[in-house]
């Protein structure tokens, strides 16, 4: 019996209780129609291989995190010019830099529910609009109000994107490719950061803001050419679209019956009769994955990476590097390469090992930077040793970025999208994303003040957080490599 037939028979009880979506953003194909099926077969060779089909979908939604990275990197190459043109104080620019995180917190609160009610594609469409408006507001800003409003709008869109993209990728990817494809999310973020650094060397801050609209301008039409998440369609009771989406993602010749049945069993508990209650969160299968997801996303930020990325130019200046913007671009390029390596490794070595190596490497690197800055306070500025310590601090920052990119950058988002049960994914995902952005706001808002207080002391604090992360991962984080989402959720019930 097919999923569709069984679900129709259950319409009086199981299937009939499933929520219907507020808005269904359909795809350009309908395999349920004989006419459309015949039209599709002519181009079926293009997407017959499941990895090619899924990869095309991932490349399109990756425009969202590309926007994410561009927003994160924008403040570094533009700090001097914006401060001069609009006559901003250090605290005013620090507020500008951190407001994207405030907007992202608002977006994070709503991201889970938006993605549940209108789908992953509809959620990304909604996220793209405030991003575009926000960049244009910054580009034409002549005072603080437009500058701050634009940054908040950007952040709101990024907050939705940061939850929706990893969830969508995890839900469409086959289990043997989920780690690599899931890591594309963070890879796109690093590419966005690098592009903002690179373009910031050649264009002024207003034109750079206009260029920031391009990823979302390309994302909106691209979403019409990819299928919706089959797991979301199944949860919403759209059984025909569910099978259609999964068949296109796996290839027209693929047998999807086993995966259909696994997804069906997994979403059977998502009816209205079994709505999540706060009392349910006491169960191990809910509180443990929620704690792990929130813990990893919080520790990802408290390690101080965003403080380094947002204000890297000033860090290099304080280390004695005159071409700070060029050095910052170099760091961005290294981050892209390291994240690409992680994308290749994550399905080979597993998630836990990379997380442990990454957080331990960050702790060692940050300790090197802290020691270098402490020693510089006791050395004559005209001495050779002072210059050597400046170079050592830059080396430490670069090593920290590499270590972060190998694990703590891409994997927390990947694990969050993998381990959260279907029943609480919307609520729990919003909470985890909100926690991540709140900590990101704390770090970006306090980084300039902490660095002005004591560079060595600031990096020492970050070192302690990374050391604790090693312990957290070793004790709590499970290995999810090679398991289906349904197998991962079942493991928490034991």
9 in any annotated domain: no
Mean pLDDT of 270-298: 74
pLDDT-derived band at 309 (thresholds 50, 70, 90) equals low
Last residue of a domain, one of 189, 210, 226: 226
Indicate if 454 and 352 belong to the same structural domain. yes
| 303 and 219 co-located in one domain | no
Q: Is residue 11 part of a domain?
A: no
Range of the domain at 129: 51-226
Residues 199 and 300 in one domain: no
pLDDT confidence of residue 277: 60
**pLDDT tens by residue, 155-195:** 999 999 999 999 999 999 888 888 899 999 989 999 998 99
- Residue 114: is its pLDDT beyond 60? yes
Residues 192 and 311 in one domain: no
Examine the domain organization and report whether 202 and 346 are in the same domain. no
Q: Which of 270-284, 364-378, 422-436 is the least confident region?
A: 270-284
Tell me the pLDDT tens digit for each residue of 194-233.
Answer: 999 899 889 999 999 999 999 999 999 999 989 999 988 8
Helix axes of 384-403 and 351-376: crossing angle, nearest 10 degrees: 160
Domain boundary among 183, 210, 226: 226
Domain-embedded: residue 184: yes
Same domain, 70 and 143: yes
Residue of 356, 297, 359, 353 lying closest to 479 (CA atoms): 353
- Whether pLDDT at 254 is above 90: no
Backbone phi, psi, residue 387, to 5°:
-65, -40
- Average pLDDT rounded to a whole number, residues 300-317: 75
417-471 tens-digit pLDDT? 888 887 778 788 888 999 998 998 888 778 777 877 888 888 899 999 999 999 9
Whether 249 is in a domain gets the answer no
Same domain, 336 and 464: yes
How large is the average pLDDT for residues 376-401? 84
| Number of domains forming the structure of the chain | 2
Tokens of 43: 């181009």
Do residue 356 and residue 467 come from a single domain? yes
Residue 365 Cα distances to 49, 258, 409, angstroms = 42, 46, 15
95 with 195, same domain: the answer is yes
Q: Are residues 185 and 68 both part of a single domain?
A: yes
Average pLDDT over residues 242-258: 83
> What are the φ/ψ torsions at residue 42 (nearest 5 degrees)?
-65, -30
Same domain, 282 and 218: no
Task: Confirm whether 245 is domain-assigned.
Answer: no
The per-residue pLDDT for 276 is 60
Q: Can you give the CATH number for the domain in which 103 is found?
A: 1.20.1250.20
């Amino acid at each position: 019996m097919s999923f569709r037939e069984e679900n129709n028979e259950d319409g009086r009880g199981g299937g009939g209780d499933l929520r219907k979506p507020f808005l269904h953003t359909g795809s350009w194909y309908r395999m349920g129609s004989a006419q459309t099926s015949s039209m599709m077969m002519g181009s079926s060779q293009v997407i017959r291989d499941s990895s090619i089909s899924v990869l095309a979908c991932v490349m399109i939604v990756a425009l969202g995190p590309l926007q994410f990275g561009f927003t994160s990197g924008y403040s570094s190459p533009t700090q001097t010019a914006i401060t001069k043109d609009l006559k901003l104080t250090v605290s005013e620019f620090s507020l500008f830099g951190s407001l994207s995180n405030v907007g992202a917190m608002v977006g994070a609160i709503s991201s889970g529910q938006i993605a549940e009610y209108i789908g992953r594609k509809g959620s990304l469409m909604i996220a793209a609009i405030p991003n575009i408006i926000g960049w244009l507001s910054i580009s034409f800003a002549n005072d603080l109000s437009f500058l701050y409003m634009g940054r908040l709008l950007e952040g709101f869109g990024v907050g939705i994107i940061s939850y929706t993209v990893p969830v969508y990728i995890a839900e469409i990817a086959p289990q043997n490719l989920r780690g690599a494809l899931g890591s594309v999310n963070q890879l796109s973020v690093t590419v966005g950061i690098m592009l903002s650094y690179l373009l910031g060397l050649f264009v002024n801050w207003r034109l750079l803001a206009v260029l920031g609209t391009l990823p979302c301008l390309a994302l909106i039409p691209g979403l019409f050419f990819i299928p919706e998440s089959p797991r979301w369609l199944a949860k919403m009771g759209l059984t025909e679209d569910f099978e259609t989406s999964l068949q296109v993602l796996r290839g027209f010749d693929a047998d999807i019956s086993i995966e259909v049945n696994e997804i069906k069993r997994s979403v059977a508990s998502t009816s209205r009769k079994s709505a999540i209650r706060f009392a349910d969160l006491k169960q191990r299968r809910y509180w443990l994955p929620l704690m792990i997801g929130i813990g990893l996303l919080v520790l990802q930020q408290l390690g101080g990476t965003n403080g380094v990325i947002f204000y890297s130019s000033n860090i290099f200046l304080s280390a004695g590097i005159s071409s700070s913007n060029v050095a910052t671009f170099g760091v961005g390029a290294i981050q892209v390469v390291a994240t690409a390596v992680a994308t290749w490794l994550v399905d080979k070595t597993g998630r836990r090992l990379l997380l442990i190596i990454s957080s331990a490497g960050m702790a060692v690197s940050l300790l090197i930077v802290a020691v270098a800055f402490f020693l510089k306070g006791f050395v004559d500025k005209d001495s050779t040793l002072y210059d050597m310590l400046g170079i050592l601090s830059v080396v430490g920052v670069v090593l920290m970025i590499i270590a972060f990119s190998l694990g703590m950058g891409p994997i927390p988002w990947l694990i969050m999208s993998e381990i959260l049960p279907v029943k609480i994914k919307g609520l729990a995902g919003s909470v985890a994303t909100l926690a991540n952005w709140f900590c990101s706001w704390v770090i970006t808002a306090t980084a300039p003040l902490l660095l002005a207080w004591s560079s060595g002391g600031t990096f020492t604090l970050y070192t302690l957080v990374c050391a604790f992360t090693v312990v957290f991962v070793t004790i709590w984080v499970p290995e999810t490599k090679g398991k289906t989402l349904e197998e991962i959720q079942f493991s928490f019930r034991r």
